[in-house]
Amino acid sequence: MRLRLPEERPTEPPTGYKIAHPVLSQDGTRAGFTGVSLGGALPYGVLADASCVYGLRHRAPHRRCDCGFHCVHDRTAAEALLCTAEHRAAVLLEVLVLGRYIRFERGFRYARQRVRTVTVGPCACGTLAAALADVGWGRPGWRALAPSCTGCVRGRTSVSLAAFARLAGEGLRVVAGSGDVLPSADLALPEGLGVPELVAEAALLQARLDWFQTQLGRLGERGPGGGRQG
């Protein structure tokens, strides 16, 4: 006899929590996430289907494999993972567990998910993050991003939190560390932008202008011939 696991038929999709690294496509037109463990090589979007990371043809999740998306039941358990050194730059995701799933004591392994909310922690300097900026590594075609304040963005490739939500689509919400929600473009905002988005974009532009002014000042000190003016 084969042991059959009990089947659940929930009236609403279960909610789970996980951590991931936000990523931006090479051309800057798409945003998504990449996992911190087994599936880290396969970036995914807000609404995505799981596949077997070993290349096997069975449907995920398979009981004899560890493929599929993973999440935990408890938000606090997911937040605890952000304390480790290798995960300090990751963000917290609240997800809806869709399709087939296998329930475990601490969470789910499942076939399909929708990311509902992204909670972005502070910049590495401890200041409230206003953007997600390139951290110097990534996957083929994707740049990994990390929370950054306006002062630490400098000349790096970056997007505001609101811009990341717009690029990711599917009604995604991005929540700053303070708990302030920045709405996505799906909300009824004049010409697709509202006050929070404009403030974040202006802060990024100001940071980049400050950086360019510093570089121009250094060039001015050297003079037209490359030497310093005395």
pLDDT digit string (tens) for 69-92? 999 999 999 999 999 999 999 999
Who's near 171: CB < 8 A, 6+ residues apart?
Answer: 46, 116, 184, 186
187: left (phi over 0), alpha (psi -120 to 50) or beta: beta
Could you give the CA distance from residue 92 to residue 29 in angstroms, rounded to a whole number? 22
Q: Cβ-count burial of 165 within 10 angstroms (0-12 exposed, 13-18 middle, 19+ buried)?
A: buried
**pLDDT tens digit string along 108-152?**
999 999 999 999 999 999 999 999 999 999 999 999 999 999 999
Its pTM stands at 0.74
- For residue 100, give both structure tokens: 């087939």
